[in-house]
């Protein structure tokens, strides 16, 4: 998979990689570190709840002697954050629709939406519950 992604960049590593996917933490983080160049930065906003440990092959970190930065972070929160995010959407600077993979309706669907988010199903990016 990393080779396919590298083909999109002409075989060149990139400055930054964002990990926002499901699957195995070891696989996703290793692939991101393989794609980022020396001195580059990998940011992970995914949550991994079933993996007890993360294994990273030393080859993707040049035997542990190359400088690659890794940051794990949860999405921001709070009124100011959400107001700025909504402003980006309002003015067409951010289109979140490609992230929505499941649209559910009504309060009764909230539990189903939460179950989808924690299912580790590769087809789930973001379920949205519309309260009618």
What tens digit of pLDDT does each residue of 1-38 get? 667 777 778 888 899 998 887 778 888 889 999 899 99
**Per-domain residue ranges of the chain:** 2-72, 79-130
- In what helix (H) or strand (E) does residue 128 lie, and over which residues does it extend? strand 126-130
Q: Which stretches of the chain drop beneath a pLDDT of 70? A: 1-2, 51, 74-77
Q: Which residue has the tokens 């939406």?
A: 113
Question: What span, in angstroms and rounded, lies between the C-alpha atoms of 53 and 48?
Answer: 10
Question: What span, in angstroms and rounded, lies between the C-alpha atoms of 101 and 90?
Answer: 21
Note the pLDDT of residue 76. Answer: 65
Q: Which fold has domain 2-72?
A: Rossmann fold (3.40.50)
Question: What span, in angstroms and rounded, lies between the C-alpha atoms of 85 and 95?
Answer: 11
Q: What is the pTM of this model?
A: 0.57
């Amino acid at each position: 998979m990393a080779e396919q992604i590298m083909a999109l960049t002409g075989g060149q590593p990139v400055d930054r990689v964002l990990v926002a996917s499901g699957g195995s933490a070891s696989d996703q983080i290793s692939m991101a570190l393989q794609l980022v160049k020396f001195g580059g930065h990998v940011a992970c906003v995914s949550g991994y709840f079933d993996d007890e440990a993360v294994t990273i092959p030393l080859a993707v970190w040049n035997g542990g002697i190359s400088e690659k930065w890794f940051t794990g972070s949860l999405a921001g929160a709070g009124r100011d954050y959400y107001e700025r995010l909504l402003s980006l959407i309002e003015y067409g600077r951010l289109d979140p629709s490609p992230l929505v993979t499941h649209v559910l309706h009504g309060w009764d669907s909230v539990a189903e939406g939460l179950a989808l988010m924690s299912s580790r199903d590769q087809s789930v990016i973001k379920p949205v519950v519309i309260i009618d």
